[in-house]
Amino acid sequence: MPGGADLYYEEHGRADAPPLILSSGLGGSAAYWRPNIADLARHFRVIAYDHRGTGRSDRALPEHVTLADLGADMLALMDRLGIARAAIIGHAIGGMAALEAARAAPERVERIVIINGWARLDPQTARCFDVRLALLRHAGPAAYLEAQPLFLFPPDWLSEHDAALRKESEHHLAHWPGDAAMEKRIAAARRFDAMPWLHHVVSPVLAISAADDLLVPWRNAQALVQALPQSVHRHFDWGGHALNVTASQRFNRDTLDWLTSGAAPIGS
């Protein structure tokens, strides 16, 4: 149903369970979390939402978008739902936006899980963004979406799920947010630089990386952990950029272990 801050959201699990917000990456869709919601909802009141400018949320965006804006949207959605404090799981820019929310309102962010995120743009990530923008500008959204799985998934997983991925690309094309909106979101990801202020983030953070992530080299998770006061790194040998999809059983287990572990985070 349509929700606070002009954001589409959906809820799963018991209404009286601890709240857990799921914030996706560049695509911005709540549907990204399908492989994870059932397990997470056994323990949490799960809120998954479409980012502003994407999916079923308000499509209007300002001229310049920042990840701080995405973080502010999370806090506004919490206000709308009457949630004083929540844990957040974010994929890539969704996790980095959660850091912005914790920076702006530390008392409201219980814990953060960041999947393949970064503190400062890596040259490899910049190169991938350049390629994706070139496809969008010169070949159009269909070509952009056709190439998108190459940046998200390991080759063997891509081959095994080819039919489903092609169908998903057709769905994304039918609900395309617009070239300008995607360019603004990529620009926001490129500009993000948290190194000057990460040491002020007091929320515990679990940074998860994958050795075979083409888009974000796993050393970026190490850099996040080194800069954050309360953090731990969990490394996957396989899974690609969207490891919560490809290695969902392990992701769900490890993430739930950490989120429910109280004060002591799991080791790396």
Q: Is residue 266 part of a domain?
A: no
Please name the amino acid found at residue 268. S
CB of 110 closer than 8 Å to CB of 20? no
SS3 content of the chain, % helix, strand, coil (to 5): 50, 15, 35
User: Which has the minimum average pLDDT: 1-5, 74-78, 84-88, 183-187?
Assistant: 1-5
The percentage of residues in the chain with a pLDDT greater than 70, rounded to a whole number, is 96
SS3 74: helix
CA distance 107 to 100: 13
Please say whether the dihedral angle defined by the alpha carbons of residues 42, 263, 32 and 76, taken in this order, is positive or negative.
Answer: positive
Q: Which of 43, 55, 44, 47 has its CA nearest to residue 21?
A: 47
Q: Is residue 85 part of a domain?
A: yes
Q: Is residue 13 part of a domain?
A: yes
Q: What is the pLDDT of residue 1?
A: 34
Q: What is the pLDDT of residue 203?
A: 98
CB of 64 closer than 8 Å to CB of 185? no
Q: What is the pLDDT of residue 267?
A: 38
What's the pTM?
0.95
Q: Is residue 264 part of a domain?
A: no
Q: Count CB atoms within 10 A of the CB of residue 153.
A: 23
Residues spanned by the domain of 67: 4-259
How many structural domains does the chain have? 1
State the CATH number of the domain containing residue 235: 3.40.50.1820
pLDDT surpasses 70 at 128: yes
pLDDT surpasses 60 at 266: no
Mean pLDDT value across residues 102-119 = 98
Q: How confident is the model at residue 3 (pLDDT cuts 50, 70, 90)?
A: very low
Strands 9-12 and 45-49: antiparallel
CA distances from 201 to 106, 107, 194 (A): 7, 11, 10
Mean pLDDT value across residues 258-262 = 89
Q: Is residue 268 part of a domain?
A: no
pLDDT, tens digit (0-9, with 9 covering 90-100), for 214-254: 999 999 999 999 999 999 999 999 999 999 999 999 999 99
pLDDT surpasses 90 at 262: no
pLDDT, tens digit (0-9, with 9 covering 90-100), for 167-184: 999 999 999 999 999 999
Q: What is the pLDDT of residue 4?
A: 45
Q: Is residue 267 part of a domain?
A: no
pLDDT surpasses 70 at 5: no
Q: What is the pLDDT of residue 224?
A: 97
pLDDT, tens digit (0-9, with 9 covering 90-100), for 14-45: 999 999 999 999 999 999 999 999 999 999 99
pLDDT surpasses 70 at 263: no
Q: What is the pLDDT of residue 172?
A: 94
DSSP 116: S
* Mean confidence (pLDDT) of the chain: 95
pLDDT, tens digit (0-9, with 9 covering 90-100), for 134-180: 999 999 999 999 999 999 999 999 999 999 999 999 999 999 999 99
